[in-house]
Amino acid sequence: MYATQTKKRNTLISAAFLSPAMVLYLGFVILPIAMSIYYSLTKWSGAGMPEFIGLRNFQRIFKNKDYWICFGNTVQCILFSLALQLPLGLIFAYLLSRTKMFYRLFRSVYFLPAVISPTAIGTMFLIFLNGDFGPFNLMLKNLGLHSLTRNWLSDSGTVLYAVMFPMIWQYIGHYIIIFLAGVQSIPEDILESARMDGANSFQIFLKIVIPMLKNLIGVCVVLCFTGSVKAFDQAYVMTGGGPGVKSSYLAIRMYERAFTDNKLGEGTAIAITMLVFSLLFTIVFNKINRSEGLEY
């Protein structure tokens, strides 16, 4: 009897402490998602009452080839981010953990771009990649590589990669700091034992560091994926998604349909497809990793 009462009291105490967080979560996450789902099923310009039209918004965006171009651009952004940000972040974090001189300076320098406004980064690269007076073309000319110069932000063959690079570069430092914390949490005696057994730095990195950071790498994969799905700032500042939709991501397409064309229902429908895309990836990725014995 006493044990049952104690258990009930502990449950009530736990609920009391959790209730503020649950209220905030419901108010700022669950409720906005539910409202977005509703608005995605309506025709609404932002003024007046929304008109319920069912799945017509989704039918319209899926039939529009511009949506699929933006979807393809977003997928490319995700793939390049996963292929560059995470490996480079992990490598630099390991090298930084081995650095004794100027450790604090290097750590600050690597992380500095991640705390700068994406709008400022986009503006900086807008000037840097300008086809007429940009430093990048000027550097190529000084190296005698005149044939490689071009209008990077108006050439349909290069514009997507030109707007993708600043975002990838900016957030490498973010993953360096995350991986650095993981590397520094590895017991030093394990690394020292490997060195005494004759392992070099590359072998330690490959055989010890990476396996011991698998859970952290998995978390960073999810963060990198969801962050890339939401890519917006740099590309919008540099090209506005142009020419046409050659450098447009799903987030830019959503913004333009909702706030430029005043079709909030259709814009919200695009946002819901982004949410579903991220959720599906996260669920599948977590299931694959659980089958391998990894937990996040």
- Residue 99: per-residue pLDDT: 85
- Would you say residue 193 has pLDDT above 70? yes
The DSSP result for the chain, as a single string, is: -HHHHHHHHHHHHHHHHHHHHHHHHIIIIIHHHHHHHHHTTEE--SSS--EE-TTHHHHHHHH-HHHHHHHHHHHHHHHHHHHHHHHHHHHHHHHHHT--TTHHHHHHHHHHHHHS-HHHHHHHHHHHT-TTT-HHHHHHHHTT-GGG---TTT-TTTHHHHHHHHHHHHTHHHHHHHHHHHHHTS-HHHHHHHHHTT--HHHHIIIIIHHHTHHHHHHHHHHHHHHHHT--HHHHHHTTT-STTTT--HHHHHHIIIIIS--HHHHHHHHHHHHHHHHHHHHHHHHHHHHTT---
Hey, which residues does 51 pair with through a beta bridge?
43
**pTM to 2 decimal places:** 0.89
Banded pLDDT at 100 (limits 50, 70, 90): confident
> Are the beta carbons of 126 and 166 closer than 8 angstroms?
no
Q: Please report, as a single letter, which amino acid is at residue 37.
A: I
**295 has pLDDT over 70:** no
pLDDT greater at residue 8 or residue 180:
180
- CA–CA separation, 223 and 225 (whole Å): 5
Amino acid identity at 84: L
Does 89 have pLDDT greater than 70?
yes
Q: Give the whole-angstrom CA distance, residue 125 versus residue 133.
A: 12
Q: String of b and e for 257-275 (b: at least 16 CB within 10 Å)?
A: bbeeeebbbbbbbbbbbbb
Nearest Cα to Cα of residue 280 among 233, 225, 210: 225
In the predicted structure, residue 294 carries a pLDDT above the cut 80:
no
- Taking only the tens place, the pLDDT of each residue in 114-170 is 999 999 999 999 999 988 888 999 999 988 888 888 899 988 889 999 999 999 999
Handedness of CA 88, 92, 93, 98 (dihedral sign): positive
pLDDT digits (tens, 9 = 90+) for 200-237: 888 999 999 999 999 999 999 999 999 999 999 999 99
How many other C-beta atoms are found inside a 10 Å radius of the C-beta of residue 45? 13
At 15-71, the pLDDT tens digits run 888 888 899 989 998 999 999 999 999 999 888 888 999 999 999 999 999 999 999
* Gap between the Cα atoms of 94 and 23, Å rounded: 41
Question: Domains (ranges, CATH) in the chain?
Answer: 64-290 (1.10.3720.10)
Quote the pLDDT of residue 247. 93
**Residue 70's beta-bridge partner residues?**
none
The alpha carbon of 292 is separated from its chain's Cα centroid by a whole number of angstroms, namely 25
pLDDT at 102 over 90: no
pLDDT grade, residue 3 (50/70/90)? low
For the ranges 74-78, 126-130, 213-217, 287-291, the lowest mean pLDDT is seen at 287-291
Rounded distance, CA 20 to CA 13, Å?
12
CB atoms within 10 A of CB 54: 9
